[in-house]
Structure formats: structure tokens, C-alpha cells
A and B are shown apart, each in its own frame.
Chain A
Amino acid sequence: MSRVLLPRTLDELWELWRGHPDLALFAGGTDLLVRRRRGLLDPPVLLCLERVGELAVVEEHEAGLFLGALATLQELLEHPLVRDRLPVLTQALAVLGSPPIRHMGTLGGNLVTASPAGDTLPPLYALGAEVELRSAGGNRRLPVEEFILGPGRTALGPGEILAGVWIRPPDGPVRQHYEKVSLRKALAIAVVSLAAVIELNSLGRVGRARLAWGSLGPTVVRSPRAEEALLGGSLRPSELRAAAEIIREEASPIDDLRATAAYRREVAGNLLLRLARPGAG
């Protein structure tokens, strides 16, 4: 039996945390409560973050968009700022879990769970997101790729929570594309996924390409060489095939119940070919 605490503000959170240093945090519970059922953890004190409204905001600032860690996935899916400026994230949210899971799950939860297959992660990497970490003593920011250290491991220090994500949306002409390959169309873990944010220059060529693959390694996989292979080009099939070869060489995915490494490697490359379709993303 565990005690469940439900703070409404960050100040309440810090105070409760001081009183129970070994508590386990959750927001929507769609990950922690499942792991608890499996017997993977049994913390005597649980703290539910879902009422801490100050972290559920979505705001536009000079520095970019701030997506609060406790915004539910559904709130983000419906939010006009996210839909308009970060469609690659919207596409990922639309295929994450299922409607009730989206009503309960949060962006912060998806990040802190740090699953190699986390659906919001490749878009956040491709968007160059930064996470903001807060503690009773202050806050700090980290690029998302420095925050996620491995499966289930993040750079959260003791007494720190993930407060939200900062994203400077790309301006100018840009293709934002996401594709998730899974074994069925809902309630499915990604077998391999690709997020692509491709900024076009004034000639309509690729000025900047950020590619991020999910379920291809212990954390989201980037490939500067594959990105470079696309620069200055126009996403022709031959260019995309060249980039595909690069990622296939570089990637070392695993075999698991859902797919083999060989399949993941093959498809990771193939997904780039989808960028050739007009209007993709």
C-alpha cells in the first residue's frame, strides 16, 4: 500500500518532497502505474503532479514556445500554437497511444520515461528542443539530447522535475514530417520512427535538415552525415537513397519481440524515401 500525495502548486510540491525524499513522481500514470502493476517498483509514497496547473501551460515567448511538462498530450494535440508551428510534434501526438491515454499522458511524462520508442522524442530532437529543469533551488536548461541519457535514464538531479520544453519553431519555408512504423494503428509501440524538419532556402533547396529516428537505438538517433547528404539538394529519390544508405550503415538497433535489428535498419533508411512525396509533412 502506498500513500498518494496531490500538490496543487510547485511550492506545495517542494514542501512535500522535503518531507518524503524517497517519493516517486507521476503525472498521467500511464507509465508508472503500469510498471507498478508489473512489480517493477513499489514506492511507499507516490506523488501525482496532475494538479500543478502552472506547469500545464503552452505559451509563446520571445525565446520560443514553452510547452509545460504537465500539458496533456491531448491538450498539445489540439493547441493551435503546436498545430501551426510544430506540426511534426502534432503528427506524433496523433498516433501516440489512444484517446484516453492522450487525455492522461503528458509531455513531461513521455520525456522522463525516456523510452527508446517514446513517440514525442524524435520530433523534439528534430526541433532542437531544450528542456527546463526546476528544483526548489532554481532552474536550468539542457538540450533534449543531453537530457535523455539512455533507456529510462535522464539527467534529472535529486529534487528536480522537468518543468517544460522550449522550442524555437523554424521560420521560413520548412517541411515537418513524422512517420511511425508500428505493428498496428493504435495502442502501439513504435518499431522504428522518423521525424524530419527540413528547412528550405530561398532557392527551394535544403538549407538545413534535422533527422531524428526513434526505436533505432537506446536513445533517439541523429545522423549528421545523412543530414549533410541532403544539404543543397531537393530531396530527390537518389539523394534520399544516399542518405538512407548512410543511416543504415550507422545504426545499430536491437532485435526484440516486435522486430529484428535488420528490419529496423532497413526501414530506417526506407522512411527517408517518403520525403520525396510532395506534401509529405
Chain B
Amino acid sequence: MASAPCLSGRPALMKHPGQGRGRTAMERLKHPPSLGTVLARADGPAKVTGAEKYAADHYGPGVLWAGVKRAGTPHARLKALDTGRAADLDGVEAVLTHAQVRGTNRQGVIRKDQPVLVDDKVRHCGDAVALVVARDRQVLAAALERIELELEPLEPVLDPTRALEPDAPLVHEDNPTGNLLLAGELVRGRGREALADCPLVVELDLELARQEHAYLETEAGWAILTPAGALEIVASTQTPFRDRAEVAEALGLKPELVRVIAPYLGGGFGGKDGITVQSLLGLAALACPGRPVKMWWSREESFLAGPKRHPARLHYRLGADRDGRLLALEADLAYDTGPYDHLGGVVMTLGLEHAGGPYHIEHTSLRARAVYTNNPVSGAFRGFGVPQAAAAMEQVMDLLARRLGREPLELRRRNLARPGRRVASGARPECSQGLDECLQRLAGHRFWRGRQAWKARAGPFKRRGVGVAAVMHGLGYGPVVPDVANAKIELTVRGGIRVYSGVADMGQGNASTCLQIAGQVLNQGLEDMELVLPDTERTLPSGSASASRTTFTYGQALIAAAGQLRRRILERAADLLFADSAGELSLLPGRVRHPASGRELPLARLAGLMQDSERVAVGRHRAPVSRERPTDDETLRLHGLPHAVFSFAAQLAAVELDELTGQVELKGFVTVCDCGRLLNRQLAEQQVQGAVAQGLGYALWEDLAVADGRVLTPDLSTYLLPTSLDVPEMDSLWVQTHEPSGPFGLKGVGEVGIDGPLPAVANAVADACGLGPRRFPLTPERVLAGLGRPGEPGGKP
């Protein structure tokens, strides 16, 4: 039987287990990791044996189950709640409503507009209205059935255009800008006026779908109110420190009495960037003091209640001269943000900043809006507004290339903003820039060079195409919100090294990278290293696991902390070894050595001679911000515009269409990426491959369909993720620039790979059959509609 869960005294500790590993791996553990090589991830062994405990994996006698009664209607006033029949059920411990929420009952990062439990209005079908705590899941389900909601239906707002009409119902009556969460505009030169003078103008209208994160581990966690009155929460979350503040405020607690622990997540991708189960667990735990309470959203509930990628409508007009030089861009991006802020304004702002991509365009009118509706919540999702922008920009570039008869890679190279020049947002990136080399490498790839011959070999009823995309992706929070990490590192009493990670590891492997960095700075083998996963009581605030920033920012803080620890170790050792200075000493695995005398001091011995406070070092790093001011709009600046450091990628898709069915088969995909220096090639490949697969899903299969505010694809049988038979072999190539502001020259790689697949695939489809796709995902039906009947003169353009 599983042992009783216990939070205090059980750190989320990850060791490098010596047992159970193959011989080659064991050998590597003894030596300090050298940067740039392939190093197997440290969390591998526990995960492949099923030993790693995720937030959903804690059970035990006395654990209660908490569950949510959700609204089931997109827009309604809450008139009454009848919980009596539910509370009467045997095995029900508590039935809670907004009346039991002591704090503000409001959550959110920028605009706190989301209730823990609905008090005034229901704003989407997944809104949480009541919370039940019961002894097991059967009783929980029965109790939830018995709760009766008296709802007065209101006309729902279902479309972002309609939402902005003067007579549209309001999602938030108290919002001064009505259903507009945020709008922003960037104008350069003469803006859209300049289009009139362009010899060539191409135009594009796109509609992009809602995408579901669909992490394999749905939202989960557990919580307990300790006898000392502290609320301890273990949750699958990307933001443990921010959660603590939000939970405290929403529930009316002192933050120092709230502890949040983030074990390894079974995937996040932005869907767990913020409050999911945390406040609900806290509320349940407060109602059942001393009892552990657990919550684990079913897949259907995750579909209903979790945030999604913003669906968007984009309108682009791009003007150029006959030599292919871009002259003017007008772009309009409308993001349906759903009922709550949920970082929607920040998503919109990043999309706005990237609307014109990495190109130099003298005249731009870029406009974006994030609009409230009663559709499902839109929020953070890897890419964070940029996939939408890149979808449009990279397709309109190809439209232009076709009109001009110019080769698509060459057109892009011609118009890249070279280092020191402004990109379309009007700001100059302040970082290493390898995109031109990425494009050159892509041009040399066999898929590109051999594409005509490959296309000509298409079999009966097949058409082949190759398409490309060039993208950039800004790292971090922008110029105003501090992008800070605090690292803590310790020489343990046994002479090992313990790293206290402040940023959640949702699978991207930053935990492993931490150990690799610490091992590098301290010259220690991974065998004697441990990592403590984020815990508001033991590790230090380091911001969210998002924005491609975790290694970029935390890594620098860790280098600082590890450097400080190294100095302390050597200075103390110098005293003990009677060396003249620390400079005479070498720090080696497990010991300090004085080469001149041959004397050595084992780290275990040194640690034994140090006090606790001497063995710990702390480092802080704040990521650099842009000095550019493409806009004076302070709200836009707050929301992140502009960024300073960017990663870049050039991507290529090879597709084969079937003329009889419209099915699109991916025959290959290539990414050439500049994310600075690679600390660990395997990890960087993991990130790019995973991002590409999600981008391909966004292009071809994934559509969280909604009608009348209701989800039509409520589970994994109707919402289609690509399987191992759908995702092609992917080539990952690297252009390693050196980014001075990043740890050992690294830039973030988490998101850039997801920005290009949709336009690359769309461009490949257009290359195959002339069809310019406008609605995504590109289902077989949409492709076939454009192809027309096989053997008969062509279909619609």
C-alpha cells in the first residue's frame, strides 16, 4: 500500500542514482560534464522505471478527493446554488461555494478577473461554480451530480468581431474597455499609406484554430492544511512562486503561510502557466484541516476548463518592389481571448511584436487586439502569439515570392534585418543573429536542393511540394516586468553538491541542465550532485517556466551562485591547506588539491569544517532588456514590447498530397536553428523536435472546435494529436552563435521551433498544388476542396 503522503521533510529530491544504470552511463557520471556534448538527462532513470512521482501520483489512506461542478453554459447570471442534497450524501466532507472564499476570489496575472468559484456570472462553460470534497471518486461524482445551479442565461459573446460592436453583451461589465482586453498598434514610416505606392501588393486572410495543450498529465495536485496552519500544495504547475501569491490573495491567506511545490510536470507547454487546481485545492484543504485533499482533472475536464492557444483571424497586406524588396506591411491580428485575462494581453503583444517577422520593412501598420468572449479560456501556449503571426507573415512572403517568380529562401535572405537594423516591429534585436546562416544552411540541405527532382517523382494521384519559413522568437518578459531568477547551491555535509532549482521542469530538462552547469562551474561529476525541484520554502523565486527563459535566466543565476560557492570552497581550503591564496588550488571532483605540495582536502572533510551558512551560496540574475522604444505606449511596454534577445530558425516541410482524398503526408521536416551555444545537443534536439511536432499538429490535425461556446471535441478521440505514424523524421541542424547575455552563450530554444511548421506546411501544400490555404488545420477536406476532381482541370485557387 502506498504510504501516507507527507509534505514536511520530504523535499522533491532528484538524485543521480548510481544503481540501475548501464555501464557507459556510470562512467560518464564520474567525470565533470563537458558542455556541448551529448549528456543523458539526469531525470531519465527515475522516469523510465516509473519511480518518479508526479503531482497525480500521491495516494494514501485518508486522502480526500476534490472535484468541481462546472457551469455547462457559456454566459449566465448565477442566481442560486443548491448544495444541500450533495452535502447530505454519505462520504461527502464539504461542499464549497464562493461564500467560503475569504479573499478576493479573483485570480490572474495582469488583470485579476477569474474567480476561484463563480460569484456573480458564469463566463464560460468550464467556469467553476462549486467544489466538493469527498472520500473517494465515486462519492465525489455522485455529489457533483446532485448540485443544482440556478442560472439565468445571458446572451453569449461568441465572436471577437461581434464582441466589439457597441451593442454586444459584456463579458466583464466592470471593464472600462468593454470586451476589449487589450489593443496595440505599431506604426513605422507612412504605415499602410505606403502600400498605395508599392508596385506589387499581396494580400492574405487567415483563420487559425484553437489548439489544446493536451499534455499527457492533466492538471493535478494535492494539498493539506498543517496543524501549524500552513497550507501546503503540491501541484503540476509552471509557476509555484506566482501561484503562492495568487492563492494567498484569492483565498485571503498570508503568503508566508502558503507553500507550493512543483514536482516534475507531465508536460505544461503553457497550459499550467498559472492557476489551475491550486486555489481549489487550497480551498478544499482549508475546509478539511489536517486532511490531505487531492484533485486530478479528467481529460474531458481538462478540455473543458483549461486554457487553449488563442484562435485568431489575421489580415495581411504586403507591398514590395519588383526586385523583391519589402516596402510596406499592413497587418491586423485579432485574438479571441475567451472570458479571462489569462495572459491574453501578453500573448497579443508578442504576436504584435512578431507580426512582420525578422524582416526589415520601412513602412508598417501593425495592429492587434485581444478580445473577451464567452468561448473557452485562451491563454499561454508555447509560441505565445507568435505562431499566429508567423503563420501569416511566412505565407504572405511565399505569395510574394510566387508573384515575383523569386525563390522563397532568397527572397527572405534579401529582406532579413541584418544585425544592427530594425525588424518589422521597429526595434533592433540586441543579441547574436544567425538567421541568415540558418537560411543558407537550409538552402544547402538535400530536401531543398533536390526538391524539383523529388517532386517530379510523385506517383499516381500524388503531388509533392516543399515549403519554407523563417522565424524569430523573443525570449523573456520584455522591458518592464523583471525577468529574474535566484539560484541557490549548497555544498552538502557529505561533500556533494545540491542545486535548488527555482524553475519548474515540465519536461524540457532544465533540471538536468542545472546539474550540468553546476558541474561545469564546480568541476564535479554528476554522480555526487542532487537537485531540489521548485519549492517555495526551499528554493528561490525564479519566475515562470515559460517564455523560453528557464535556462537562459536561471542558468546565469546558477553560474553566479556556483561561482560564489567555488570561491568560498577554494578560499576556505586555502586557509586549511596553508596555501598563500585560493589561486594556487584546483577544485577537482570530490576534492581540493594544492598542486605545489600535492596536498588534498576531500570536499566531505571541508564541508564538515564549515557551518551551514557557509556551505550555501545564492546568485541572482536579471535578464537584459531592450533599450529600444518602437512605441511609447506604456501598456504595450508593460506587456512585453520589445524584447532584446531572440532565437531564430529556418524551417522546411516536404509534403505529399493525395489527389483522391486530400490527405497530406509529411515526408520530411528540417529545422536549422540559432539558439546560441548548445550546452547539450540532445536536449536542444528534444526541444526542437517536440516543438515541431506540436507545430505540425497545429497545421494539420488539431482543432479544438467550439460552437455556441461549447466544445465539440471534448476528448482525445475527437481532438486529434499526431501519432508516431503521422510525425515524419525530422532533421535538426544548428547554427551556433555566441550570445553574451546567456549562460555560456546559450539562448532559449523552447519555443522557436513551433513558429514555422504551419506556414512551412502551408507553403509546401501551395507548392504542390497552387492552393493557398486560408483555414487551418489543413484537413483533407480543405485540401481536396482546393484540388478539384482528379484528372479534370484544376480546382479553386
Contacts and interface: CB of A to CB of B under 8 A. Distances in A.
**Do A and B share a direct contact in the complex (Cβ within 8 angstroms)?**
yes
Nearest to B724: A186
A186 B662 CA distance: 17
B663 A270 contact: no
A237 B701 contact: no
Contacts of B185: none
Contacts of A107: none
Interface stretch (B96-104, B589-597, B778-786): B778-786
A263 B725 contact: no
A266 interface: yes
A183 B779 contact: yes
A186 B724 CA distance: 8
B701 A183 contact: yes
Given A181-B661, A184-B723, A270-B790, A257 B780 contact: no
Interface stretch (B123-131, B237-245, B620-628, B712-720): B712-720
A237 B660 CA distance: 13
B720 A270 contact: no
B701 A184 contact: yes
A118 to B, nearest CB: 15
Interface stretch (A6-14, A47-55, A77-85, A271-279): A271-279
A41 interface: no
Interface in B765-797: 779-781, 784, 789-791
A257 B712 contact: yes
A33 interface: no
A257 B701 contact: no
Interface string B655-667: 0000111110000
A253 to B, nearest CB: 12
Contacts of B784: 263, 266-267
Contacts of B779: 183, 259
A273 B781 contact: no
B136 to A, nearest CB: 11
Nearest to A263: B781
Contacts of A237: 791
A186 B723 contact: yes
Given A183-B780, A270-B790, A277 B460 contact: yes
B119 interface: no
B723 A187 contact: yes
A201 interface: no
Contacts of A273: 461, 660, 790-791
Contacts of B138: 1
Contacts of B791: 237, 241, 273
A260 interface: yes
Contact of B718 (A257, A271, A276): A257
A186 B723 CA distance: 7
A188 interface: yes
A270 B701 contact: no
Interface in B634-693: 659-663
Contact of A185 (B659, B660, B723, B781): B723
B217 interface: no
A183 B789 CA distance: 20
Contacts of A183: 701, 720, 779-780
B600 interface: no
A171 to B, nearest CB: 30
Interface in B684-735: 701, 705, 712-713, 717-718, 720, 722-726
Interface string A247-264: 000000000010110010
Contacts of B724: 186
Contacts of A189: 717
A272 to B, nearest CB: 9
A46 to B, nearest CB: 16
A188 B461 contact: no
Contacts of A276: 460
A184 B720 contact: yes
Contacts of B725: 184-186
A271 B660 contact: yes
B723 A181 contact: no
A263 B789 CA distance: 11
Contacts of B712: 257
A127 to B, nearest CB: 24
A82 B762 CA distance: 41
A188 B720 contact: yes
B718 A260 contact: no
A60 to B, nearest CB: 33
B705 A259 contact: no
Nearest to B721: A184
Contacts of B723: 98, 184-187
Interface string B126-151: 00000000000010000000000000
A187 B791 CA distance: 32
Given A183-B780, A184-B701, A185-B726, A274 B720 contact: no
B790 to A, nearest CB: 7
Given A184-B723, A266-B784, A274-B461, A257 B713 contact: yes
Q: Which of B712, B713, B717 has the most CB of A within 10 A?
A: B717
A270 B781 contact: no
Interface in A29-58: 34
Given A183-B701, A183-B779, A257-B705, A270 B722 contact: no
Nearest to A181: B661
Contact of B660 (A184, A187, A191, A267): A267
Nearest to A188: B720
Nearest to B785: A263
Interface in A157-172: none
Contacts of A184: 701, 720, 722-723, 725-726
Contacts of B789: 266, 270
Given A184-B723, A185-B726, A187-B723, A270 B661 contact: yes
A188 B460 CA distance: 25
A129 B45 CA distance: 51
Contacts of A181: 661, 663, 780
Interface string A226-258: 000000000001000100000000000000010
Contacts of B718: 257
Contacts of A98: 723
A274 B724 CA distance: 26
Nearest to B701: A184
Given A184-B726, A185-B725, A270 B660 contact: yes
A243 to B, nearest CB: 14
A188 B701 CA distance: 12
Contacts of A259: 779-781
A138 B631 CA distance: 84
A191 B784 CA distance: 14
B781 A260 contact: yes
A1 B136 CA distance: 13
B174 to A, nearest CB: 37
A259 B789 CA distance: 17
Nearest to A276: B460
A236 B436 CA distance: 51
B517 to A, nearest CB: 39
A265 to B, nearest CB: 12
B351 to A, nearest CB: 28
A17 to B, nearest CB: 27
Contacts of A266: 784, 789
Interface in B725-763: 725-726
Contacts of A241: 791
A81 to B, nearest CB: 27
Given A183-B701, A188-B720, 11 more contacts: A1-B138, A181-B663, A184-B725, A185-B723, A259-B779, A263-B780, A266-B789, A267-B661, A273-B461, A273-B660, A274-B461
Closest 7 CB pairs of A and B: A185-B725, A270-B660, A263-B781, A186-B723, A181-B661, A184-B726, A186-B725
9 contacts: A34-B717, A184-B701, A257-B705, A257-B712, A257-B718, A259-B780, A263-B781, A266-B784, A267-B660
Interface of B: 138, 460-461, 659-663, 701, 705, 712-713, 717-718, 720, 722-726, 779-781, 784, 789-791
